[in-house]
Amino acid sequence: MEQQATAVPEKKQRILSGIQPSGTPTLGNYIGAMRNWKLLSDEYDCLYMIADLHSITVRQEPAKLRQQSTQLLALLMAIGLDPEKNVLFLQSHVPQHAQLSWVLNCYTYMGEMSRMTQFKDKSAKHSDNINCGLFTYPILMAADILLYQANLVPVGADQTQHLEICRDIATRFNGIYGNVFTVPEGYFPKFGAKVMSLQEPTRKMSKSDPDDCFISMLDNADNIRRKIKRAVTDSDSSIAYDPENKPGVSNLLTIQSALTGESMDAIVASYEGKGYGALKSQLTDVVIDTLAPIQDKFNQYMNDKAYLEQVWRAGAETASRLADRTLSKVMKKVGFVAR
């Protein structure tokens, strides 16, 4: 009797995502990126990194940085990221990031770094602290990605330049030493929407803006109600999706569509004959209903510090093991004596 061959499961592609603990993520972060992360777990081998090394290019209050890093880990689990299925870790717990970053610094040119538009933008915002880390952090970002041989990296429009320099560095290094790094591709989520500032709807919602401009994922119901009530709309009272001429109203409609899954046409039709008060009231209920269960789980995790520590220790152990494979290969190729 002929023996049937056992099918070998196809190896999953690896995705790395990082988020800085420089403040609580906004509703825009959740809609645009974070809620999609849970959907990736079944299809990809996922690593989710709290990018605390990146955050210190801007001065941080030490106690606050520690608190925000812990809170961010709890929040990642609260949105449904299972630490048994995903690697959740703090960047600073894996020293190989900094070590590979130094090596890659020596394979990156000043001219390449000088063309980074985010350095120019951040230098203008933090003119009193234009430090070397601010200049070279795209190289640390490249190290983050290349260390884990990531196939895919979720990127927004403001990060495409950083992915390109990462690809350039990897290709250059491979050209000198052989096939060392996986050259990553950008991953563009199927689901996502760009959420704009509540007060300046022509600009992206950002946690670095004044409080009334964004909804934090940990805002209570009263704060959410107040912020949406004060959100900029338009001079006329008609409700229509027209980002160019009615950016404020269009932004509110975008949020509702993203959170409910309803089509824009259906939502606009439901407000026929109604004013902005109805839109803001309905949207407030939708946002509160979305965030309340996440906040409940977040509070449960924050009340169990022993479990949080267990998760970040296990995450660091797994991440370090993966990182060591790449770093050992790099060190040998460059010519360093093995320990």
Kindly state the DSSP code that residue 190 receives in the 8-state scheme.
Answer: S
Which of 38, 85, 190, 207 does the annotation list as catalytic?
Answer: 207
User: How many other β-carbons are positioned within 10 Å of the β-carbon of residue 203?
Assistant: 12
Q: Is 58 helix (H, G, I), strand (E, B) or coil?
A: coil
For residue 204, indicate whether it is catalytic.
yes
Contact 280, 228 (CB under 8 A): yes
Closest CA to 69 of 45, 105, 86, 93: 93
Which of 11, 85, 120, 122 does the annotation list as catalytic?
Answer: 122
What amino acid occupies position 61?
A: E
Beta strands 185-187; 152-154: pairing state: parallel
Please list the alpha-helical segments (H only) found in the chain. Answer: 27-29, 35-40, 52-55, 62-78, 96-105, 110-114, 117-125, 132-147, 160-177, 221-229, 247-260, 264-270, 276-302, 305-334
Which residues have CB under 8 Å from 157's CB, separation 6+?
none
Classify the C-alpha dihedral 235-236-237-240 as positive or negative. negative
The C-alpha atoms of residue 24 and residue 190 are separated, in whole angstroms, by: 25
The C-alpha atoms of residue 165 and residue 188 are separated, in whole angstroms, by: 18
Which of 85, 120, 125, 204 does the annotation list as catalytic?
Answer: 204
Contact 276, 232 (CB under 8 A): no
For residue 229, indicate whether it is catalytic.
no
C-alpha distances (whole Å) from 73 to each of 67, 78, 199, 201, 313 are 10, 9, 29, 30, 12
For residue 122, indicate whether it is catalytic.
yes
Contact 283, 239 (CB under 8 A): no
The C-alpha atoms of residue 213 and residue 203 are separated, in whole angstroms, by: 10
Residues tagged active-site? 122, 204, 207
